[in-house]
Chain A
Amino acid sequence: MGFVTTFLSVVVLLPIAALLSASTTEGWHQFWSVVTAPEAVASLKLTLGAAVIVSLINAVVGTLTAWVLVRDDFAGKSLMNAVIDLPFALPTIVGGLTLLTLYGPRSPVGIDIAFTRTAIFLALLFETLPFVVRTVQPVLHELDREAEEAARSLGAREARVFRSIVLPNIAPGILSGVALGFARAVGEIGAIVLISGNVPFKTEVAAVFVFNHIQSGDQNGASAVAVVMLAIAFLLLLAIGGIRYLATRHERHA
């Protein structure tokens, strides 16, 4: 137990403390002015906006994919199931490079979106693809199919069965997958650094902003935005914990 706390303190907590300390050494006002500098704000807006759009897409496509994997059966399904984890296994920089080869200069299908915002979306879609699928799959698997049959026997049509019986039960799974994907999207750097061009105000995400400002020696600017990203990460973890708590409330009454 002591080992755990010591290890965590040294490895995780101390660095966090160092960051918080460095970003507030010159006081709250300084911090605020750095964080609200136009370039910083632009990078945060881009990051959050992209994360939101990507999360919405993931919510729909991820649930659909999980549905196909659990309820459907066809040749190649297990291959498809295995492939979903590829973004977890593949280094992010390789991920970015692979997207660049198909959708960048010299694209064989004629789609060149390198150095555009679309490239950022694509990179984030790649990296966050598995999250919703993997959080929804087990829930879908465990669903009481007879409840759906009961609904049908009571007269509910398929869309209604999905809306009233399936969705409420998989919603927590979808939400936690979305939250994890969102966190990943906000922090992603490897997949983006090659493909987006990192142009300030246009295609510079928060993570790249931090990176560039470390390189250029602007530790204040980098730290300020980094603190915002840290806060977002904490909020998301809280949200995920909250989702888990709410999801089990129906069972806890027993």
Chain B
Amino acid sequence: MRRLGLRSVAIFYLVAILLGPLAMVFYRAFEHGIHPLWSSLTDPNTIHAFRLTLEITAIAVPVNTIFGVVCALAIVRRRFPGAGIVNAIVDLPLALSPVVVGLMLFLLYGRSGWFGSWTSAHGVQVLFATPSMVIATIFVSLPFVAREVVPTLRELGDEQEQAAHTLGASGWQTFWRVTLPSIRWAVIYGVVLTTARCLGEYGAVAVVSGHIEGQTETATLRVQDYYENFNLTGAYGIAIVLAVISVLVLTAMTLLKPKESA
């Protein structure tokens, strides 16, 4: 009896907070028929927004993957005094508001900022342009690969690597043939989380991008744009595209989780 009660509470909570609202969005998107939905989605600025989101993600994910793996290796395999601090700094983007991240970059690359004066003198546009959006996205999606790989590396121990060394493998060979394969599921899971974070980034890019339609709007910024301009169908349209991608991401996460923790 008590079991049923607990179960019902949990299910009710999830439906009320997660599933109900999501179902509504799909309903509203198609409410006025396919045509208005399609025209909003194929508007050139919207297509540009999707492209920009994908471009930024395509840069940020590999960068953070490489960083994540190297960082995890450094933290776990090399005992150095600052390891705890490095760990904390890597975790910071998880705890920090994206708006604050945006502000920090705004200050750094703004006209009177430390880098800002240098870049504007050399004609490099960072703020209100793609570069700052890429940097912002890298910042906020920094931790994921590292956080997944660190515990896996710790659990694995370095015996396999030691064995490889005794068999004559160099550092690089050991990494490619022994270390990397044994952490691959953790890396993949981390990549999935990173990608989801990049696709969904809003706060930081909202600050640094300037919201310039057709130039510096990502898909998430465009949702807000459509909504504030009362183009609800457009907003829901982009939302369901993003939601479908998220469900795919979620599926990937669910399938990968058991492999990652095995």
- A4 engages B86 (CB within 8 Å): yes
- A97 engages B96 (CB within 8 Å): no
- B95 engages A237 (CB within 8 Å): yes
Let me know if A136 is at the binding interface, CB within 8 A.
no
Do most interface residues of chain B lie in helix, strand or loop, or is the interface mixed? Answer: helix
B75-132 with Cβ < 8 A to chain A: 78, 80, 84, 86, 88-108, 113-114
Residues of A within 8 A of B102 (CB): 211, 214
Name the interface size band of chain A. Answer: 35 or more
Residues of B within 8 A of A234 (CB): 92, 95
- A214 engages B106 (CB within 8 Å): yes
A28-83 with Cβ < 8 A to chain B: 61, 64-65, 67-69, 72, 74, 78, 80-83
Let me know if A230 is at the binding interface, CB within 8 A.
yes
Let me know if B25 is at the binding interface, CB within 8 A.
yes
Residues of B within 8 A of A210 (CB): 97, 99-100, 103
- Interface residues of B, count at CB 8 A: 79
B30 CB → nearest A CB, Å? 12
A96 CB → nearest B CB, Å? 9
Given A4-B74, A93-B202, A190-B220, are A83 and B19 neighbors across the interface (CB < 8 Å)?
Answer: yes
A4 CB → nearest B CB, Å? 5
- A16 engages B97 (CB within 8 Å): no
Given A68-B10, A80-B11, A89-B253, are A189 and B18 neighbors across the interface (CB < 8 Å)?
Answer: no
Q: Mark B1-15, 1 if CB is under 8 A from A, else 0.
A: 001001101110110
- B254 engages A97 (CB within 8 Å): no
Interface residues of B (CB under 8 A from A): 3, 6-7, 9-11, 13-14, 17-22, 24-25, 27-28, 67, 70-71, 74, 78, 80, 84, 86, 88-108, 113-114, 135, 138-139, 142, 193, 196, 199-203, 206-207, 219-220, 223-224, 227, 235-236, 239, 242-243, 246-247, 249-251, 253-254
21 A-B residue pairings within 8 Å (CB atoms): A4-B71, A5-B86, A18-B107, A18-B113, A64-B10, A72-B7, A80-B11, A89-B246, A91-B199, A91-B201, A91-B220, A92-B220, A93-B200, A93-B223, A99-B21, A187-B95, A187-B98, A190-B200, A210-B100, A211-B206, A233-B100
